Chains A and B, each alone.
Chain A
């Protein structure tokens, strides 16, 4: 059973470009979470999704950021018109419906905005 997969692992964008981050959850996991981690800091919750539904996006900036988890394919975190402050590691985690087992994290995507 493959773990949580994220790609790309590293992404470099210039200011004003779009960044698209992908996450494939573990098999059998219907819950996907996105977190942002700045250097030397903890993880900040961004959004929680189930298939075709955004359940909680209270941690997402109101502008430029969006997320989806379509019926088919990976979850996507999209950042439009990136700025230098968006540079961070973005982690995806997945969990099964049973919250008792916790989350499993992907390797992360390290976004650098030039």
Chain B
């Protein structure tokens, strides 16, 4: 059974600092996704990672995938307050269309 774990669960950081959120999954997965959720809102798709070594960047966020280590990372560069949100990773269950979500990382960027 595919399980997805994220850490840290909570992250409070100063503006301008860098940090990384980790997403580990337990069995083979052929696709990995990152989402952002603001309080009381729906999920916004950030990145889709489909192959080993995939790296995607959008603004201050960069996501990567290492399928051999079963690990994806979301790196935040020079954080700004607007990045405060909860970030979820989700892994696709191989051979199915099912997606398993991590517990989320609640990020708070302090001015």
Contact = CB atoms under 8 A, between A and B. Distances in A.
Contacts of A55: 97
Tell me the interface secondary structure of chain B in the complex. Answer: strand
A39 to B, nearest CB: 10
Given A56-B96, A100-B48, A101-B48, A42 B43 contact: no
B45 A104 contact: yes
Contact of B102 (A35, A42, A101, A105): A42
Contact of B43 (A44, A99, A100, A105): A105
B99 A33 contact: yes
The SS class assigned to the A binding surface is strand
Interface string A49-60: 000000110000
Nearest to A4: B42
- Determine the interface band of chain B, counting residues with CB < 8 A from chain A: 20 to 34
Interface in A67-114: 91, 93, 95, 99-108
Interface string B27-61: 00001010100000111110010100000000000
B42 A108 contact: yes
Contacts, number: 53
B98 interface: yes
A63 interface: no
Nearest to A106: B42
A42 B104 contact: yes
A100 B31 contact: yes
A12 interface: no
Contacts of A105: 35, 42-45
Nearest to B35: A105
A42 B103 contact: yes
Interface of B: 31, 33, 35, 41-45, 48, 50, 88, 90, 92, 96-104
